[in-house]
Amino acid sequence: MSGVSFILAGFTLGPILVRWGLRFLHWLNCIHFIVISAFGYLLVLAQITHEVGLDMIIGAYAAGVAFSAVEEREQIESGLKPITDLFHLSFLF
């Protein structure tokens, strides 16, 4: 039951936490940390889902859903492009 409650909390509270965090970063004038904070949020949610007993991809997906509705989405995507390109290259070998 804890897995289901985590998923529900991740999909409902996640976007609220992300918007609050981005407002805080804008207030601190730390625009360059948006990509780092997005990747960190992804890793934290993946680890929490692992600790709960679920697959880590569920936490990563919840983080992606949380960041998909923000205005900075394109900035985050372009900032994470080198990392995603690295994973795409690893499948070629």
- The structure tokens listed for 57 are 């991809």
Parse the chain into domains and list their residue ranges: 2-90
Q: Where are the alpha helices (DSSP H) in the chain?
A: 2-27, 34-52, 56-67, 73-90
Q: What is the pLDDT of residues 68-79, one digit of tens each?
A: 888 888 888 888
pLDDT digits (tens, 9 = 90+) for 43-89: 998 998 898 888 898 888 888 888 888 888 888 888 888 888 887 77
